[in-house]
């Protein structure tokens, strides 16, 4: 499907993730115009100038710094602003600080945003903040998309590919639930070129039993913490994920991605977490009815209950 032109993207937050996402959008030609907004106006101005100088090597995307009112006319508004996750800190420990930041910035974004704009949330804890963005913006839930477990799923496929010595693109394996400690690997539906992963490993004479599968998942779950411990922050993976979400929206692709959206999951109402959903110009629609096994279904319920508890505590 053809990209709608011109596409304007606004990014709230000129930190590492925000600036790296602008760079990814710039090189991919996903937008004709990108505006960067931050409370630190000098930082936003400096990043925008630096990024604008990269544009002639790709194409003439307009990159500039602005104010909240410059969200007007944006097709997609990406919310990256928030306190950074520190080494050893869980995503849930970030919740109160970043919830209050969203209480301040999201109404300012919504005041100027088009009624057809899609908000994309990447600040952590992303599920809690996706719910907060719906609450504070007044947008319908389908127009607020959290980055969710798309990056976790990419890390999962990458780790599986490394262990099985095959291209990660040949692997279809997803993580659902919370983007965090309560995420769930959907082993029952994991495939390699259409074969269930256990069948593939059996035919390829690979030793990949329950213990190896658990180690693979633990490596996936701990990846962000290891990166933060080594370099202080994650950036490139989330920027690539946000680019993919933006592309799916502006091209109206109906791509299935495990993104976070407010809804009802495993009998828990009004909570945000990730399952595969159709991503298009309307935001996130139509959750895929996954045929989970009993353990996975139980894990999804526990993930939903955990997130619901955090959301309720912040709203009380």
Residue stretches of the annotated binding site for NAD(+): 13-18, 38, 98
Quickly count: other Cβ atoms within 10 Å of residue 1's Cβ.
10
Distances (CA, A) of 41 to 15, 36, 64, 79: 11, 9, 11, 16
Find the helix or strand (DSSP H, E) in which 63 lies: strand 62-65
Q: Are 296 and 188 in contact (CB under 8 A)?
A: yes
Write the DSSP symbol of residue 125.
Answer: S
| Pair of tokens at residue 82 | 């928030």
Detail the residues annotated as belonging to a binding site.
Answer: 13-18, 38, 98
293: CB partners within 8 A, 6+ apart: 188
First to last CA, the chain: 44
Sign of CA pseudo-dihedral 27, 153, 80, 253: positive
Residue 120: strand, helix, or coil:
strand
Which of 59, 142, 172, 179 does the annotation list as catalytic?
Answer: 179
Helix/strand/coil for 305: helix
- Whether 179 is catalytic: yes
Question: Pseudo-torsion of CA 124, 122, 57, 68, nearest 10°?
Answer: -100
Say how far apart CA 22 and CA 11 lie, in whole Å.
Answer: 8
- Bridge partners of 157, per DSSP, are none
CA distance 126 to 234: 14
Write the CB contacts of 295 (distance below 8 Å, at least 6 apart in sequence).
Answer: none
Place of tokens 């009993």: 294
> The tokens of 135 are what?
């609450």
**Lookup result for tokens 């990730």:** 274
Residues with a catalytic annotation lie at 179
């Amino acid at each position: 499907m053809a990209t709608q032109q011109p596409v304007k993207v606004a990014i709230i937050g000129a930190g590492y993730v925000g600036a790296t996402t602008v760079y990814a959008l710039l090189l991919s030609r996903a937008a004709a115009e990108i505006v960067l907004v931050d409370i630190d106006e000098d930082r936003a101005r400096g990043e925008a100038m630096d990024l604008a100088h990269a544009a002639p090597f790709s194409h003439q995307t307009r990159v500039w710094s602005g104010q909240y009112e410059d969200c007007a006319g944006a097709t997609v508004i990406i919310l990256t602003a928030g306190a950074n996750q520190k080494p050893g800190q869980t995503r849930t420990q970030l919740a109160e600080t970043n919830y209050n930041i969203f209480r301040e910035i999201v109404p300012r974004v919504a005041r100027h945003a088009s009624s057809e704009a899609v908000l994309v949330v990447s600040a952590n804890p992303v599920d809690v903040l996706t719910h907060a963005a719906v609450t504070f913006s007044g947008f319908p839930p389908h127009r607020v998309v959290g980055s969710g477990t798309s990056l976790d799923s990419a890390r999962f496929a990458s780790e599986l590919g490394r262990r099985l010595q095959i291209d990660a693109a040949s692997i279809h394996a997803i993580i659902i639930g919370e983007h965090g400690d309560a995420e769930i690997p959907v082993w029952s539906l994991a495939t390699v070129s259409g074969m269930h992963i256990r069948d593939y490993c059996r035919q390829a004479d690979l030793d990949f039993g329950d213990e190896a599968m658990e180690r693979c998942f633990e490596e996936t779950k701990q990846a962000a913490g290891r990166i933060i411990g080594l370099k202080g922050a994650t950036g490139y993976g989330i920027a690539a994920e946000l680019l993919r979400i933006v592309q799916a929206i502006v091209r109206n692709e109906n791509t299935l991605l495990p993104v976070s959206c407010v809804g009802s999951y495993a009998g828990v109402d009004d909570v945000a977490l990730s399952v595969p959903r159709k991503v298009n110009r309307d935001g996130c629609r139509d959750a895929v009815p996954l045929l989970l096994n009993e353990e996975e279904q139980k894990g999804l319920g526990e993930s939903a209950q955990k997130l619901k508890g955090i959301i309720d505590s912040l709203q009380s």
